[in-house]
């Protein structure tokens, strides 16, 4: 009797589908060239732990993900999760934007079944390639009962991270993924262990449903630095942004020359959301700036790229900055 779980592996590209000219090319290679079925076939050990089939949805570097692709991926995952012969899903993905895709799926999927996003930092052709073990571990987690109901997960480098928290922290090292509160668990020697649970609502507990989303409102990010000017704000407003994430210095600070610009942005009906380019910590409402007075919103502990995902989803529900603030604090 076959008790192995059925896991679908959806290929989207990235370095886990990459190939270099020689085995010493660990960081210079072409990403998104190896088909998902070939990636699976390169790890025959997987057939001992799960019945796996591959499905190629994209073949791209994850830097080329956009909202349309996020929606397409989310809808396909949702469809598969409804099938009784699917126990879990693995998505092979580039590492650059894994954190955005994982957070998105964590917020919009309506299933308790495990969904695991996985990538690699080195192409399969490199000495010390990390993709094979990462994929094996991802399938193990996606096929497990323990991973159910924990939201979308990212499995990389022996660690299981919450899609909400995880972020890429290094350009080339295999230990690049970090969560401010640590991983949820480990995978080692064919065994997974969870040590903590996500506290924020996810998947079945959210107000966002991928089956009901066909487009997302435009939200852009403006990075701040000494000498920052209004050019990018004006361009994004002119391009039709519904919200601008002000990726401020420190605690989402706003330079003196930008304060009137953000007031003007808001007066045009565009939401202003203060985030921090430090990438960690909480942006304090009415701290650096009088958000109540200006009708602005702050992120909680999310970096700008995660705040963008949440804001896009939030704006499908409300355009009231008070409600938007509640959502930014909730998820």
Report the interface residues with ligand ASN, using CB under 6 A.
14-15, 31, 61-63, 94-96, 119, 121
Distance of alpha carbon 59 from alpha carbon 62, whole angstroms: 9
Residue keyed to tokens 């949440």: 310
C-beta closer to ligand ASN: residue 99 or 291:
99
C-beta closer to ligand ASN: residue 62 or 302:
62
CB of 312 to ligand ASN, least distance (A): 20
CB of 128 to ligand ASN, least distance (A): 14
CB of 115 to ligand ASN, least distance (A): 18
Which single residue brings its beta carbon nearest to ligand ASN? 94
C-beta closer to ligand ASN: residue 258 or 304:
304
Distance of alpha carbon 137 from alpha carbon 156, whole angstroms: 8
Written as six digits, the tokens of 12 are 């989207």
Catalytic site includes residue 15:
yes
CB 129 within 8 A of CB 122: yes
C-beta closer to ligand ASN: residue 13 or 88:
13
> Helix, strand or coil for residue 289?
coil
Distance of alpha carbon 172 from alpha carbon 163, whole angstroms: 20
CB of 101 to ligand ASN, least distance (A): 10
Distance of alpha carbon 71 from alpha carbon 86, whole angstroms: 20
Catalytic pick among 92, 95, 97, 167: 95
C-beta closer to ligand ASN: residue 170 or 231:
170
Q: Each residue of 305-323: b (16+ CB within 10 Å) or e?
A: bbbbbbbbbbbbeeeebee
Q: Each residue of 98-128: b (16+ CB within 10 Å) or e?
A: bbbbbbbbbbbbbbebbbbbbbbbbbbbbee
Q: What sign does the CA torsion over 156, 159, 165, 168 have?
A: negative
CB of 200 to ligand ASN, least distance (A): 25
Which residues are marked as active site?
A: 15, 95
């Amino acid at each position: 009797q076959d008790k192995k779980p059925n896991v679908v592996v959806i290929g989207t590209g990235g370095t886990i589908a990459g190939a270099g000219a020689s085995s010493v090319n660990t960081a210079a290679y072409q990403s998104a060239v190896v088909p998902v079925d070939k990636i699976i076939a390169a790890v025959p050990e997987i057939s001992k732990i799960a019945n796996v089939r591959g499905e190629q949805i994209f073949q791209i570097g994850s830097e080329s993900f956009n909202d349309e692709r996020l929606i397409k991926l989310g809808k396909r995952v949702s469809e598969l999760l409804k099938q009784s012969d699917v126990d879990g899903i693995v998505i092979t993905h580039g590492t650059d934007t894994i954190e955005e895709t994982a957070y998105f799926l964590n917020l919009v999927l309506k299933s308790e079944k495990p969904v695991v996003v996985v990538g690699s930092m080195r192409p399969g052709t490199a000495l010390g390639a990390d993709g094979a073990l990462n994929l094996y571990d991802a399938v193990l987690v996606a096929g497990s009962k323990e991973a159910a109901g924990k939201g979308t997960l990212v499995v990389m480098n022996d660690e299981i991270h919450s899609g909400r928290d995880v972020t890429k922290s290094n350009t080339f090292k295999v230990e690049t993924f970090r969560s401010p509160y640590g991983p949820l668990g480990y995978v080692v020697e064919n065994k997974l262990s969870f040590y903590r649970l996500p506290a924020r609502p996810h998947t079945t507990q959210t107000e966002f449903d991928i089956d009901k989303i066909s487009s997302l409102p435009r939200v852009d990010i403006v990075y701040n630095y000494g000498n920052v000017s209004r050019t990018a704000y004006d361009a994004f407003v002119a391009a039709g942004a519904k919200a601008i994430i002000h990726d401020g210095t420190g605690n989402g600070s706003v330079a003196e020359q930008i304060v009137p610009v953000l007031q003007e942005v808001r007066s045009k009906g565009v939401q202003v959301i203060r985030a921090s380019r430090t990438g960690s910590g909480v942006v304090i409402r009415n701290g650096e700036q009088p958000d109540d007075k200006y009708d602005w919103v702050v992120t909680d502990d999310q970096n700008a790229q995660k705040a963008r995902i949440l804001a896009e989803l939030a704006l499908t529900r409300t355009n009231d900055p008070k409600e938007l603030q509640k959502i930014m604090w909730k998820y």
